[in-house]
Amino acid sequence: MELTFKKIKNGSIFEQDFENLITTGNATIELKQQPRNTGGIAVIYAPNGTGKSSLARVLETEEETEEITFETIVDAQSTITPANKAFKIIADQMNRNVIPGETSDYLIGQDIQREYRLRKKVNQAFEQAFKQNLPQALKNEYKVSKVNDYFLSVLQERNAEAYAYLRDIVNQKSRGAEINRAAFMAFIRNPDNQPDLSFLEEDKKKFVIDNSKVIQQLLSIDLNQIAMNTEVMLIEQSDDAIGILKKYKHLQTCVVCDNHDFDGENLLNRKTEGRKRIYENLDSKTKTLLDKVVMDKSLIANDPFNIKHTVMNFISTGISEDTSVLQDEVQMYVNNIVDEMMIVMLNVFIDTTMYSDFDEYSLLLEGQPYIDDEELLYIEEVINDNIDRNIRLIRDQENDNNFKLMLDDKPLLGTPTKEMHLSAGEQNFISLAFELLLAKNSTKEFIVLDDPISSFDSVYKNKIAFCIVKFLEKKKQIILTHNTDLIRLLEVQLNNCFNLYILNNAYGGTNGFIRVKDEEQKILINLHDLIKLFQNKDGVLDSLILDRRLFLISMIPFMRGYAHICKDDDENYVRLSQVMHGYETATVDVAAIYKILFGYEVCVSENISVPDVLALDCGNINIIDKSRYPLLSETLLQTLTYYHLRMKVEKELVEIFNLQINMQHPPTLTQVIQKAFNCRNTDADFVQKRAYRVFFASRKTLLNEFNHFEGNMNIFQPAIDIEHTALQKEIQDITNKLAEIRSIYGN
């Protein structure tokens, strides 16, 4: 897979070339894929100050602004911009306070994932049933939407358990939250709970549902408590007459009988008084029956049970048989409607796989949880072996029996690391390892790792390299680093698993992503391949060298370290050391020593003295063919620059302050700086000298004593671990500071 970056912008951090990177010819990075893997890796080496972390921030942004944006083309086809949200960034883990996410984000073993999928599916089914399907059905079909609705109260009498379930489901605040789901499933699957329904006429059924308040009043009346009243029929007649008179009382002629001797106002008053007299003579229960049943407006347009006539006849005659039959019939309809509601609940999952899903999920819940994912098992093993802590998986009884990862007795996720009592290295390893697990499950297409091992000691670096290669083997990765250790460690974990690029971002430079060719990548990763190159095997080195004298000078620091670990005596080490201090005066045949160390004659003889090194102009030189080995070319150039600058500072400070040097025990540059600016706090120039001491002691180019060559023989670091522009600035700053000191303290 190829990513071609048309544009990268983050304020003014990137040079103008990055606004249209394609024109530089260095816009594309290719992710190397392994057979049968969908992922791929590109490593981008970037010295500090180049814009490595700024690039990560650009790719992380999900909203394009005028200040920060990017545009890249994938395999010359689709375009990715911030809006696509395609990049997940994993930054340095230093000071990460908590491990984020839920346990389910990390547990990806087959059995555990099956349980999570079933839990999600079962929970969704309950959510759908309790919050949507059942409430909507009860409301739409039976007009039941509140806990005090009439049909629910009837259900309570018929089946208390069914009532408890439906009441909680109807409750808008609860919506089934209080229901024991296992008990609910047992109830709805019990065939004994299925009610038998009677035949219902649809018009009567609809009437009962639409007029539940009238029905409730009708069924609540005890017929034995209703007193007969022969005048009750007159109430309805009076109501009809009063209605007509109110409308036409202003007329001179009666609209009913055409009587010209018509006093509408007087007649209305008589009718009203008559109705009042009859109504007041009724007992309270009869009044309730009359007002809330007989006279209810719902009976005017539709009365399929003939409620009005039957009840009025009962009141006027006192004969209750017909009304009792009416109540029985209506009660049957109510009971059937309530049973229908119950059946709706019983059948809520009938057309789904819920029963089998719930049974399988319940069976899984009975088992003891254990970690069965290979990646998590690896993390567990590392923690157990190196940290002497125990990662375990438990069920959270207070959270739906969900899984919970524990580190000893504390939840691993979400707990502040200071409460875990971990060292910085332990904390960073656990945090990054889990971040990689999280990335493995991410839906984003690309994972960007920004210097993932920068905050780790040697104990954990190799383990993290393994995690990167193993956990993310199916992911497309862009690894940003200034650490050549990581490059080597990735190669150790999986041979030839990445393509290597150098990020260049310098004014006037060839900017973009510079591909490191395979042959140069080999010498970066493997010391034996580097030494093989210096031995001129196959004649490669001979064809690379552009300036043999400068090549030999730039190799002096590395050769001294190599001599120290390859020879029993210190002769060559001592001779090379004599031309690595600015206060020395020795001359050494470096070509002869090179031949002794590597067996290759760069030239017949090349005598190099301290004055020769001090006289160098490092501003515009070419040591080897940069087009073939750009990384090594830059390394040798910067090593030479460091070497020259350190010698210059040593010589200047020794001369300016007339320091006495014991050549039997030559001081280091750090010791020279301390001697030059040695002062007491009572001295008049104490503040000034202290400032100079701090300045020189803190310069990156001067801190390097080249002792790293005697440790891991890494020729590429720290020489190239500074961006070109920053290096030039440091050189200028040091040069200016030396001139300033000479003007003050020189003779």
pLDDT at 461: 84
What's the start-to-end Cα distance of the chain, in Å?
A: 65
pLDDT at 638: 87
Query: Would you place residue 405 in the very low, low, confident or very high pLDDT band (cuts 50, 70, 90)?
Result: confident
Tell me the domains of the chain and their CATH numbers.
2-107+423-515 (3.40.50.300), 112-200+343-361 (no CATH), 203-337 (no CATH), 537-745 (no CATH)
- The structure tokens 């707990």 sit at 415
pLDDT at 414: 78
pLDDT at 412: 79
Task: Report CA-CA distances (Å) from 67 to 27, 58, 64, 363.
Answer: 20, 10, 8, 55
Query: Would you place residue 54 in the very low, low, confident or very high pLDDT band (cuts 50, 70, 90)?
Result: very high
Query: Stretch 617-621: mean pLDDT, rounded?
Result: 83
pLDDT at 82: 94
What tens digit of pLDDT does each residue of 269-286 get? Answer: 766 766 666 666 666 777
Q: Are strands 391-396 and 2-10 parallel, antiparallel or unpaired?
A: unpaired
pLDDT at 67 > cutoff 60 = yes
Residue 742 contacts residue 656 (beta carbons within 8 Å): yes
Reported as type and span, the H/E element at residue 476 is: strand 476-481
d(CA 504, CA 524): 18
- How confident is the prediction for the chain on average, in pLDDT? 85
- Going by C-beta distance under 8 Å and a sequence separation of 6 or more, which residues neighbour residue 172? none
Query: Would you place residue 240 in the very low, low, confident or very high pLDDT band (cuts 50, 70, 90)?
Result: low
- Range in 204-218, 234-248, 318-332 the model is least confident about: 234-248
Query: Would you place residue 256 in the very low, low, confident or very high pLDDT band (cuts 50, 70, 90)?
Result: low
pLDDT at 534 > cutoff 90 = yes
Query: Stretch 393-399: mean pLDDT, rounded?
Result: 74
Phi, psi (rounded to 5 degrees) for 94: -55, 130
d(CA 734, CA 698): 11
Residue 502 contacts residue 513 (beta carbons within 8 Å): yes
Higher pLDDT, 97 or 68: 68
What percent of the chain lies above the pLDDT cut of 90? 42
What percent of the chain lies above the pLDDT cut of 70? 86
pLDDT at 698 > cutoff 90 = no
Residue 461 contacts residue 451 (beta carbons within 8 Å): no
pLDDT at 126: 94
Query: Stretch 34-38: mean pLDDT, rounded?
Result: 76
Query: Stretch 634-640: mean pLDDT, rounded?
Result: 89
pLDDT at 368: 65
pLDDT at 139 > cutoff 70 = yes
Give the pair of three-digit tokens for residue 438: 């999280």
Higher pLDDT, 241 or 672: 672
What tens digit of pLDDT does each residue of 446-459 get? Answer: 999 998 887 677 77
Higher pLDDT, 338 or 290: 338
pLDDT at 460: 79
d(CA 241, CA 270): 11
Query: Stretch 206-228: mean pLDDT, rounded?
Result: 86
What tens digit of pLDDT does each residue of 94-138 get? Answer: 555 667 777 766 665 666 778 788 888 999 999 999 999 999 999
Query: Stretch 159-177: mean pLDDT, rounded?
Result: 93
pLDDT at 746: 83
Strand order in 28-30's β-sheet? 28-30, 2-10, 68-74, 78-80
pLDDT at 370: 61
Task: Report CA-CA distances (Å) from 133 to 155, 163, 314.
Answer: 19, 17, 43
Query: Stretch 508-524: mean pLDDT, rounded?
Result: 87
d(CA 556, CA 39): 42
